[in-house]
Structure formats: C-alpha cells, structure tokens
Structure 1
Amino acid sequence: MEVTLLGTGDTTGTPTVGCDCDTCREARDSGVERSRFSVHVRNEETDESLLIDASPDFRSQFLDNDVSLPDEVLITHIHFDHLDGLGNAYRLFDSLPVHATDETDPKTGESVADAIRNKFDYLDRITVHGHAPLASFSACGFDVTFVPVEHPPLVCYGVVVEKDGSKLALTGDTGYSIPDASREALSDADLFLADAIVPASLCEYHPAGGRHHTEDGVPRTFGHKHMTREGALSLADELDASETRLVHVSHFYPEEEAFEEPLAVDGERYLI
C-alpha cells in the first residue's frame, strides 16, 4: 500500500492563521505545512484509494499532492477537523461510500455514522456504512478495523488498515490510556501514525496538566485528550512499531523542536 500524509496538523494547523510565533514563522519561511489531519492510502493492486478522515483542507490537500480522489472514506470521530471535508463530495463524486462506527456515543446519543448521516443529509452522493468497533470490514481491497481510543468527551477511534501482510496503524486522536484490545489491534504495524500534539514539557500550561506519567515523571497525556510526543513514542515502542511518524502536531512546539524527527509534515509518502 502507498500511504500519503495529506494533513499532519491539529485543529488550527501550522502555520496557524494570524499567528506570528517562531514556529509558524519558520514554517512559512521554509514552505512547510501541517494542515488538518488526513491520510490517503492507495491499493497498488487495484488503484483504489482510501481516505482516512476528511479534513476541512480537503481541496488544497488534493491540489497540492499527486494523489487520486478517494473511492471510499473512513471517519474516526465527529470533530470538524476530521469530518467537515466531506462537504467536498458535492459535485466531485457520483457516489462515495463513507465508513464509521455504529456504536452509540453516550455523550451525543448517536453514533459517528448517525452523526454523519444527519450532518450531511443534503448530500445524496454519500452513503454511510456503520461498523462495530474491533470488527474488520473491507474497503478498497483492504481489511479495515476501527479501534476504540480515549478522546473525551466523545467516542473516537484509531484505524488499522491491512493487506497481504502489510499493516498501517493510526492511533486517532487519543490520550495514552488506550484499551488493551485496541493496543493489541494496533501492535506490530509497519507504519504507525501517532497523535503527539505537544512535547511533555508543555503540560504545565494545560489547566488539567499532564497524566499517565512515566516512572521518571514524564506525562504521556496532555490534559485529557491527546498524547504528548513522549507518550506517543512510548506507545510506539510498547506496540513494536517498525516505523513511527508523529501526527496531529500543534504549532505550540518550540521552533527548535517543531520540525525534528519523527514529527511528520504534509506530503510524506510511504510504501509498506
């Protein structure tokens, strides 16, 4: 499979609109971007393309990268930076299957699949298919599984995509405390994409601080909803990932750390 990282940033992206911090200035000067999160996966055998999350930067991502429009789409959760790009289905597609979980969220009273149906009820070009978490299904010739993670207050899911012994795993938006069954599903990936919104040193600035500390006192969760860089790398090590890229990265990284390995930037491409 061919994996292209279309969007590697958090909800505001880097550079952030109206921001003149050192990191955003460096991104502009270097021509580097981290737009809102999205991953393109091409099946080299069938030339079908699977899109994981529909970024609100959908248009620019597909204009800026040499990838085909998706044949099918996965949505991990209903936050706008992962969902609202679906509006681009208008006039671009004759039909577009969209996959999401059918597990009811106790916070909203509806599943991710239901939320998509309700939000985009005006788009007759999309068809939403609901799936149980941890139950594999087929999309674009891949075996795909949604895995529950921790992104309160809403339900959220990571994703596993497999074909012919190759495995892509994404944590989705999550803190470090991922259920054991999900850890098992995400383990042994050829390419592991892990949420790493900030370095652990910035937890002191979050109202909730940091959580899930290492034995040395390093927080692996920033607040409640996202992993720190250190948490993401710790999880990757525990899950025996062959290669790890850190995504959902914010512009709050200090400029001297913001573009160091293994922090990803838009446009990276991997064959696994």
Structure 2
Amino acid sequence: MRVTLLGTGDTTGTPTVGCDCDTCRTARERGIERSRFSVHVENDRTGESLLVDASPDFRSQFLSHDVPLPEAMVITHIHFDHLDGLGNAYRIFDDLPVYAADETDPKTGESVAETVRSKFDYLDRITVHAVTPFESFRVCGFDVTLVPVDHPPLLCYGLVVSDPETGTKLSLSGDTNYDIPEDSRAALADPDLFLADAIVPAALCEHHPAGGRHEDDEGVPRTFGHKHMTREGALSMAEELNAKQTRLVHTSHFYPAKEAFEEPLAVDGEQYDL
C-alpha cells in the first residue's frame, strides 16, 4: 500500500490566498504547499488506486505529484474542500465509482451519497454507490470501511483502508472533534499510519468564540471550538489508537510560523509505503 498525501491543508489551504501572515510567507519562501485535503492510496499488488475525498485542487495535485488517476473514490462528507473537485471527472474518466455513506443526515435530509448524486447529476461519468458505515466493502483490492466521527452540524466519516493480503492498515480520522464514538475508535485502532485532523495548536482555542473542549487531565483542549481536533487532541487520539506512525493533516495557516512546519505536521507530497 502506497499512501500519497495530495492535500494536507484546511479549507483555505496554506499559503492562503491574499494572506501575508508569517506562516503563509514562510510557506511561499520555502516552496511548501498545503492544498485542500485529499489522499491517494495505491495498491501495489493490483496496480489500482483509490482517492479519498475530491479536493478542489484536484487538477494541480495530479499535475504536481507522480501518481496515477484513481480507479475509484470515497467521499467522507459534503463540505466544499472535500467534495467539489469531483467536477474534474468531466472528460478525464470514462466511469468513476464514487462511494459515500447511506445514512440520512438530519441537517440536510439526505445522505452523503444522495447529496453527491444530486449535486453532480450532470456528470454521467460517475456512478455513486451508497455504503453503510461499519460495513466493509472491497474496492481496488482493499477492504474499506466508513466510520462515523463528530463534525457538527453535518454527518462526517473517518475511514479505514486495509489490505487483506498483507494486513497493512491506514486510518483517517476524517474532519472531526475529539469526541469520536467508541465503536469508531475501535475500528480505527492499531493502524500502520494514522492521518489525523489537527487544525490548530491548543493554545489558539482562546481565540475561538466557542473556546476549546474535551480537555485532558492537564486542562489542554483537545477540540478547537466544535468541529476539529487540536494538535494536542490529534496526538492524544493517535496514542489512544496505538498508531505506529501519525501525520497531522487538515492543518491551517493559523499555526505560528515557528510551529507550522515541525513534525509531525504533514505537507503535500509526502508518500508512505506500508
């Protein structure tokens, strides 16, 4: 299993358009990119590959990184920075299977699969497959499982990608706060690589209108506001899940410049052979 981090940033990415903060300026000077979130997972046994989330930066990601176009895609939730790149399927794919959850979201009145199907109804190149969370499905030679996480106000899912032949396992937290349900934690546990949402360091919670939540024993917030884990929360989750290796993704340009590019914060283009 070869995992390529195509997009490691949050909804604005780093550098952020029109921003001259120290972090964005440092990223430009060092040629570092954190585009909107997307992960490419290649099966070296079958030659097939799976794309997790359709970044709006789809075109530049595939032009910048030496990875093949995917045979299938999984969508974790319907926020713009994880979905809108699906429009790139036009004229690129003859047929692209897209997998998404079948649970009805009380906020939207439809499932993620239904939203994808209706929003991209003009694309005859994609076929949307509705799948049930916690029920594994086989695609690209992998066993893939969507697991519910907590990203209010919308339903959102983490993901487990396992190779049934080698036993290697990739877990993605999805966009989530620290309050991941216990059954989802069990499904995500013991990965060879854990990709964890870590939008800001915990110290920045004082600047969020909702503050921080899910404090540890020392009072450090593991959730920033309501929707995302802090760096400290993501690292705590990784420890709880017994992850062999952890990379922090979906990070924002609000990290102070002196911290923004330190380990284990990921940047675009990182590649891992599991």
TM-score norm. by structure 1 comes to 1.00
Residue equivalent to 1:128: 128
Residue equivalent to 1:172: 174
Amino acid at match of 1:20: D
Structure 1 runs of 4+ with >2 Å offset = none
Q: State yes or no: 1:264 paired with 2:266.
A: yes
Amino acid at match of 2:9: G
C-alpha displacement at 1:181, in angstroms?
0.4
Distance 1:65 1:13 in 2: 17
Residue equivalent to 2:209: 207
Distance 1:23 1:220 in 2: 22
SS at match of 1:265: coil
Residue equivalent to 1:230: 232
SS at match of 2:20: coil
C-alpha displacement at 1:111, in angstroms?
0.1
C-alpha displacement at 1:201, in angstroms?
0.2
Q: Which runs of 5+ in 2 are unaligned?
A: none
Amino acid at match of 2:253: H
Q: Deviations over 1:90-116 (max 9, x none)?
A: 000000000000000011000000000
Distance 1:134 1:151 in 2: 18
Residue equivalent to 1:88: 88
C-alpha displacement at 1:134, in angstroms?
0.7
Distance 1:106 1:132 in 2: 16
Q: Deviations over 1:194-249 (max 9, x none)?
A: 00000000000000000000010000000000000000000000110000000000
C-alpha displacement at 1:168, in angstroms?
0.1
Residue equivalent to 1:251: 253
TM-score norm. by structure 2 comes to 0.99
Residue equivalent to 2:4: 4
Q: Which runs of 5+ in 1 are unaligned?
A: none
Q: How many residues align?
A: 272
Q: Deviations over 1:64-90 (max 9, x none)?
A: 000001100000000010000000000
Match of 1:197 among 196, 199, 203: 199
Residue equivalent to 2:101: 101
RMSD: 0.3
Distance 1:43 1:238 in 2: 28
Identity %: 76
Distance 1:258 1:232 in 2: 15
Residue equivalent to 1:56: 56
